[in-house]
Amino acid sequence: NEGNEYFKEKDYGRAVAAYSEGLRRRCGDAELDAVLLTNRGAAHFHLGNYRSALNDAIQAKKLKPTHLKAIIRGALCHLELKNFLEAIAWCEEGLQIDSKEKKLVEIRAKADKLKLEGTFLGTQTDFCTHCQGRAVTGTDLLCERNIKLVLEPSDEEEEVSDGLAEISLDGFHSDSATGAKVHLDADGNLNWPVLFLYPEHEQTDFTVAFHENSRFIDHLMVMFAELPPWDLEKKYLPNNLELYFEDEEREEMYEVNPEHTLLQVLQHERYFVKAGTPTVLVFAKRSPFSKKYFSGKKVHRL
């Protein structure tokens, strides 16, 4: 009930915390747990935490396979994450339960349309190489900055769910899961949508417009001015965080200096902007989780 009140007030962070507390009570009522998971997923969805919302929808569906709200939420998450085939599959599953569910019909139609429109090109390749011969202003902007971009493969049977954005080569922009676009401001600087991942808690943050000359620490100071509801141990403090990016080709991790700007990180010789959305992993310093996470991995530290 507390979670529902916060949800009505659009205080989605506190709603997530309240629903989580309800789930921790382990009441043993599968139907109630399915409702709590679905509601928490809805709150996560409104916060832009689409992967966390999807995880909740999956768990709710396991507890109650006919729970249409969970199926609708899962389909919407897949749609936002550009997993169009999965979105269609979830819709089909829901429509077998209720063939007239309007929301599922709408989501399925939208997923079908976006799947057809989607353009997934090449493999790990420098954006400049990809666009040789194309009159695209964005190419010059990226080449000048020595920024490398990865575009997703076109094989539909391969997973293409990791990238939150698609690059349109007809003009320089990136449509992220939340509709944010890379844009050029009046001073000729790029502002990027940036995704922060918190592996320990399976949470995400999405910064819609990260100025290329802004430092990471400045964003962390704002993002963690208040403790997030999922940080029960109160360790995610701006100066107690470590940032990394992953070189997927070499399966290596690189630590990011929080004092560096976004542009400095994007210009790193092993940083590839995947499908238009720069991504950074965030860990609490010296946490048991991070030690376990990095165990066996090659890590380039500062």
Our separate counts of H helices and E strands in the chain read: 12, 11
Sign of CA dihedral 203, 209, 212, 218: negative
Residue 10 zone, left/alpha/beta (φ > 0; ψ -120 to 50; rest) = left
| pLDDT per residue as tens digits for the range 43-74 | 999 888 888 999 999 999 999 999 999 999 99
Cα–Cα dist 82/114, whole Å: 8
Strand 173-175 relative to strand 298-300: parallel, antiparallel, unpaired? Answer: unpaired
Beta carbons of 275 and 257 less than 8 angstroms apart: no
Cα–Cα dist 78/93, whole Å: 14
Domain coordinates in residue numbering, the chain: 1-121, 145-150+173-301
Fold for 145-150+173-301, please state it: Ubiquitin-like (UB roll) (3.10.20)
Residue 195, number of CB atoms within 10 A of its CB: 24
| pLDDT per residue as tens digits for the range 96-109 | 999 888 899 999 88
- For domain 1-121, the question of CATH label 1.25.40.10 is answered with yes
| pLDDT per residue as tens digits for the range 248-275 | 888 899 999 999 999 999 999 999 988 6
Domain 1-121 and domain 145-150+173-301, same fold? Reply is no
- Paired with 166 in beta bridges are 175
Residue 292, number of CB atoms within 10 A of its CB: 10
**Cβ-Cβ contacts under 8 Å for 285 (sequence gap 6 or more):** 240, 241, 242
